[in-house]
Amino acid sequence: MTKRLLVAVIIGVVTTAALMGLAFVAASADLETLAKVLFWQNSLLQSLAPLGNIGTAEHPVYEGTPLNFLAFLASIPVGIIVYSWLAYWALHRLRRAA
């Protein structure tokens, strides 16, 4: 069980890092929707953090706050936890099937 947990956490870290990198590449290629899907946990947490409008009502210009930075930082462990849990579940199912 400990080995399976360690393997699952490694899979979670690698998956989170890979999808984060792919999201950065997609955003650089002006594929914003794909970037948001690949790094979904950041998109979810960023939607909860308010943006400050430093423009006018007719021409809004939004600026991030420290909460947006904290949401970004929190999205990394969220991804690791979710993907580790999924990997652990898949490894458990594979072991039971074998």
**In 3-state terms, what secondary structure has residue 61?**
coil
Q: Which tens digit of pLDDT belongs to each residue from 73-96?
A: 999 999 999 999 999 999 999 988
Whole-number pLDDT of residue 62: 86
Q: Which tens digit of pLDDT belongs to each residue from 4-18?
A: 999 999 999 999 999
Q: Transcribe 11-35 into DSSP letters.
A: HHHHHHHHHHHHHHHHHHTT-HHHH
Which tokens sit at 49?
């953090």
Q: Which tens digit of pLDDT belongs to each residue from 24-55?
A: 999 999 999 999 999 999 999 999 988 888 88
Whole-number pLDDT of residue 43: 95
**pTM for the model:** 0.85
Which tokens sit at 57?
């009502």
- Pair 36, 52: CB distance under 8 Å: no
Contact partners, residue 24, CB within 8 Å, separation at least 6: 35
